[in-house]
Structure 1
């Protein structure tokens, strides 16, 4: 659990990039993939909520990825191509 956002710099290639988030707890996880996308994952209090998002890229990019969960939310994420 955390109050502050967790951020990483990553380089991604052209094609599909997958962002998976699992969360547990009443609240949300805000995901920011700069400069490409932003989305919010709703989380349930009583069970793990899975989310899988595909982002299609026409060229390679450098991303700043951040996850900002509400304090009541436990989360895990994975990004792959």
Structure 2
């Protein structure tokens, strides 16, 4: 019984220390929106990179990799952005 109570107290203390209430998501709506946008940008970059005609075009060797890297950058931003306080 005491072990059960100490586990419950420990989990509550940990939740209070992290400033997160139980049942609350770590990311906010904005984080998920930015993450979806970043996935779309990366997918668009790969679409630009695909195809079999003219494999040495500027679009495929310069623009598409820049678009993919920008999408990964947006993904990092989405993860690291602090959610808005309520």
Interval containing the TM-score (normalised by the shorter chain):
under 0.3
Structure in which a larger fraction of residues adopt strand: 1
TM-score for the superposition, normalised by structure 1: 0.20
Structure with more contact order per residue of length (Cα contacts < 8 Å, sep ≥ 6): 1
Structure in which a larger fraction of residues adopt helix: 2
- In our comparison, the structure showing a higher alpha carbon Rg is 2
